[in-house]
Amino acid sequence: MAKLVSSRKLRYYALATAVFFLLGVLLSGCGAPQKQSEAEKIKIGINYELSGKVATYGTSCKNGVVLALEEINKAGGVLGKQIEVIVRDNKSDTAESVNVATQLASMGVVAMIGPATTGDVMAAEPVATSNRIPLLTTSATAPTVTFDEEKNKVREYIFRICIIDPDQAMVMADFVWNNLKLKKGAIMMDTGNDYSKGLAEKFKEYFEAKGGKIVATEGFVDTDTVFKPQLTKIWAKKPEFIYIPAYYNQVGLIVKQARELGIDVPFLGADGWDSPELVSIAGAKALNNTYFTNHYSSQDPSPEVQAFVKAYKEKYGVEPDSFAALGYDAGRLMAEAIKQAGAADPQKIRDALEKIKDFPGITGKLSFDEKHNPIKEVAIIKMVDGKQELVTKLVPKR
């Protein structure tokens, strides 16, 4: 036998493949996580983008969730049990998100929080649905996340805690019409970005329904750095305000160049403006007389918000952004849902989530509508000498 020398390597490739797969099977045999029935602790799975492209979003959300659940544990947990937080990283990758979600499901979590972006949530969605585990996302804004438009059916196990984009546009249209009392506006949008286009379209729709008029609409792309041609064109139509639903880096440049051209009307925007960078790009003075909608404001004087900001700064050493606030609310909301469900049972928790009414979150009082989207207040923030100031909080009137 020792002298048997075959030229047929094929078999050995096949053998090698076979052995590897067998190893995989063995591995799964020894280390398979068992479903825990004793349930001394209630397990909640955290599936977030902790590395990769959108790691900043995921990390902020995760920090918020962990802070909330730790506070709840310190206060005695829920249903007399402690909550076990299982944190996993999905590398901002959809396949990893599926992977993490299945791992969490086989570890026997009763609920999942995260991921932060639409693609990653949609990858985890079939796993949550087929395992019948509720999934609460903090910041995925696409309508399809909670509502399947093709089947015209709500995705039963998926909930989101952030306001959706049309709500932001609606609140801003309300605010312009009722509070600023302006009737004639212009829009500048990033034509290569669904977020920007969607907000612009909805804002126009709501504002014109009130009787307002959009006199000019101009587009740009995200690599543009000079916006004066578009601004000059818009200014010729004499708008009373300019709505720019875009990200802070472009907004900063636009506002700066507009003020240089002597355009002194208010600029309005959405949550894409929320970044300390905005002030350093545009300059504090240029940003006076601008407003934007956001999920919450860390300047909100309410004691809950201030307690959260203090606790977050103590634990992580940085000011909490909206993602952190949404994460904090997601953690507390999930604990509340478990409490109302009366048992650490995924199905009952799902039902309880659906029935949540006026949950006092730091990002606003929250209830879910029939599409599992939150109905809650939107904060309107004014920039004053480079500082954010909370003007008011409005509930979208859908």
Partner 1 sequence: MKEKNWFQTLIIFIVLFAVYGVVQLGISENLISDYYQTNIFLAGINIILAATLNLINGFTGHLSLGHAGFMAVGAYTSVVVTMKLGYPFPLAVLAGMVFAAVVGFIIGLPTLRLRGDYLAIATLGFGEIIRVILVNVEYLGGATGILGIPRLVNWTWLFWGTVLTLVLIRNFVRSSHGRACLAIRENEIAAEMMGVNSTYYKVLAFVLGAAGAGFAGSLYAHYFYVIQPSKFSFLLSFDILVMVMVGGLGSLTGSCVGALLLTVLSALLQNFPEFRMVLYAVMLIISAIYRPQGLFGDKEISAQLLSRWGGIFRATSRSE
Q: Shortest Cβ distance from residue 93 to partner 1 (Å)? A: 7
Can residue 51 be called a binding residue for partner 1 (CB under 8 A)?
yes
> From the list 73, 82, 102, 288, which residue makes contact with partner 1 (rule: CB under 8 A)?
102
**Spatial distance between the Cα atoms of 6 and 10, rounded to a whole number of angstroms:** 10
Q: Shortest Cβ distance from residue 79 to partner 1 (Å)? A: 27
Alpha helices in the chain (DSSP H): 9-31, 55-74, 94-106, 118-131, 165-174, 194-209, 228-236, 248-260, 277-282, 303-316, 322-341, 346-355
Can residue 7 be called a binding residue for partner 1 (CB under 8 A)?
yes
376 Cβ contact list (under 8 Å, min separation 6): 163, 361, 363, 364, 365, 366, 367, 395
Q: Which stretch binds partner 1 (CB under 8 A): 123-131, 203-211, 340-348, 387-395?
A: 123-131
> From the list 38, 40, 150, 370, which residue makes contact with partner 1 (rule: CB under 8 A)?
150
Can residue 98 be called a binding residue for partner 1 (CB under 8 A)?
yes
Pattern 203-242, binding to partner 1, x per CB under 8 A? ----------------------------------------
**Spatial distance between the Cα atoms of 260 and 202, rounded to a whole number of angstroms:** 29
Q: Which is nearer to partner 1, 6 or 225 (CB)?
A: 6
Q: Which is nearer to partner 1, 133 or 268 (CB)?
A: 133
Provide the token pair at 189: 């949008």
Pair 90, 83: CB distance under 8 Å:
no
Can residue 317 be called a binding residue for partner 1 (CB under 8 A)?
no
Closest CA to 189 of 223, 232, 222: 222
Which amino acid does the sequence have at 331? G
Can residue 357 be called a binding residue for partner 1 (CB under 8 A)?
no
> From the list 70, 106, 246, 265, which residue makes contact with partner 1 (rule: CB under 8 A)?
106
Q: Which is nearer to partner 1, 91 or 332 (CB)?
A: 91
Q: Which is nearer to partner 1, 123 or 326 (CB)?
A: 123
> From the list 66, 112, 122, 242, which residue makes contact with partner 1 (rule: CB under 8 A)?
122
Can residue 89 be called a binding residue for partner 1 (CB under 8 A)?
yes
**Spatial distance between the Cα atoms of 294 and 163, rounded to a whole number of angstroms:** 9
- Which helix (H) or strand (E) segment is 224 a member of? none
Can residue 66 be called a binding residue for partner 1 (CB under 8 A)?
no
# residues contacting partner 1 (CB under 8 A): 60
232 Cβ contact list (under 8 Å, min separation 6): 261
Can residue 103 be called a binding residue for partner 1 (CB under 8 A)?
yes
Can residue 10 be called a binding residue for partner 1 (CB under 8 A)?
yes
Q: Shortest Cβ distance from residue 128 to partner 1 (Å)? A: 11
Q: Which is nearer to partner 1, 76 or 126 (CB)?
A: 126
Q: Shortest Cβ distance from residue 299 to partner 1 (Å)? A: 31
Closest CA to 379 of 98, 197, 175, 125: 175
Q: Residue 218 pairs with which residues in a beta bridge? A: 188
**Spatial distance between the Cα atoms of 73 and 139, rounded to a whole number of angstroms:** 24
> From the list 63, 65, 77, 96, which residue makes contact with partner 1 (rule: CB under 8 A)?
96
Pair 392, 179: CB distance under 8 Å:
yes
Pattern 170-199, binding to partner 1, x per CB under 8 A? ----------------------x-x-----
CA 387 to centroid of chain Cα atoms: 23
Q: Which stretch binds partner 1 (CB under 8 A): 14-22, 257-265, 302-310, 366-374?
A: 14-22
User: Which residue in the block uniquely carries the two structure tokens 């009307």?
Assistant: 265
**Spatial distance between the Cα atoms of 107 and 325, rounded to a whole number of angstroms:** 27
Q: Shortest Cβ distance from residue 126 to partner 1 (Å)? A: 5
Provide the token pair at 340: 């109302």
**At 342, phi and psi to the nearest 5?**
80, 0
Binding site for partner 1 (CB under 8 A): 1-18, 20-22, 24-25, 27-29, 32-33, 50-51, 53, 87-89, 91, 93-96, 98-100, 102-103, 105-106, 118-119, 122-123, 125-127, 131, 142, 144, 148, 150, 192, 194
